[in-house]
Amino acid sequence: MSLNIPPGVVTGDNLLKLLEHARENGYAIPAVNCTSSSTANACLEAARKNNCPVMIQVSNGGGAFMCGKAIKDPNAAAAGSVALAMHVRCVAKYYGIPVVLHSDHCAKKLLPWFDGMIAADEEYFAKYGEPLFSSHMLDLSEESDEENIAICVEYFKRLTKMNIWLEMEIGITGGEEDGVNNEDVDPEKLYTTPEQVYSVYEALSKIGPMFSIAAAFGNVHGVYKPGNVKLSPEKLGNHQAYTKEKINSPLEKPIFLVMHGGSGSTDDEIALAVKNGVIKMNIDTDTQWAYWDGLRAFEKEKHDYLQGQIGNPEGSDKPNKKFYDPRKWSRCAEESLVARVGVSCEKLGAVGTYAARTDAVSAKNGTLKKQTSPYLLVAAGVAIGSIVTLRLRK
């Protein structure tokens, strides 16, 4: 089960090798939505503790938050996403594990954000020979299958020039996330057919091998009571079998599949999805709760020390700085998040798949020749991104 790739952010051939290793050895990598350096660091820490790879992903809303909620510039989400990626780039090597930098759901209306990140990738690639991000996701499932696949094809052609992985969605994940609301969608659309999956494979495989498919099998974003949602991970096995027959593949699982709406899923549902070729599972709602829960528990325990700068149960003149210092309570939130990501690592069978390296700091991968301003990376591509978006919408 040895995985011979360097620690730090992985791209290109090393990313393909990593995901092939996951598929061949029956495990999936936890992909956690991060909105700050604090949440990203906690995910990296969890991966190191569990000796496994991890995916740090940013959504449009997460990128905008990272840039600052006061900023109303239309490029704020791209700037914040790049800023988070640059942070992870700088620190990932110190954790000694492989890290995948990924952007999450991008609906058609959010393509300017997508274009801004790709422009940053192109700028980074020109200087360092690899992209800033490892992979990006297009979620055009609200569009017709024909338009969805056609737009993915055009972007994939652009991404393959930089060896960037593309994740796409066909079929719809229910619930609501990042401004895309599918709470009232036709239940039949929550289940992708084998023919739909193969149509994606047929179109994208002509361009390159670095793509994955989020095929809906009843998934819903958010947390729900058991029994309220019917997950059918066995359908993923049908997709694999259908494509295997179509292309006469020697592989039992020729498609890289991903699972969305993982929060709240049962252990058996997750295990069956992984068995059927899921190599990545998104986690957001559960990790959001875990981060808050760490803070909640700290406030409950230290409540009487957090009512003023001076004065607590130990005396009216006692200072409380060591309790309200953001480094104290945010660390409690991080520790809770670390533990929750560890649970997902275990459920996905990822624990122990990569021994965290102690020599990672000196490893070549992840070491930048020089720093590049995130603002400059995004600003350089704003015009290009806008033009590309307009052309695709014609």
**Residues annotated as catalytic (active site), given as ranges:** 104
Q: Which residues pair with 102 in a beta bridge?
A: 57, 135
Q: Judging by DSSP bridges, how do beta strands 315-319 and 310-312 pair with one another? A: antiparallel
C-alpha dihedral (59, 61, 67, 69), degrees to nearest 10: -170
- Enter the tokens of residue 175: 């619930």
CB 253 within 8 A of CB 23: yes
- Enter the tokens of residue 211: 């793509």
CA neighbours closer than 13 Å in the CB half-sphere of residue 235? 21
Give the chain's length.
394
- Measuring CA to CA, which residue among 16, 30, 47, 85 is closest to residue 287? 30
What is the crossing angle of helices 267-275 and 326-347, to 10°?
Answer: 60
- Enter the tokens of residue 188: 């039949």
Phi/psi at 13 (nearest 5 deg)?
A: -60, -35
CA distance 288 to 246: 41
Phi/psi at 282 (nearest 5 deg)?
A: -75, 140
CA distance 330 to 228: 34
- End-to-end, the C-alpha distance of the chain in Å comes to 48
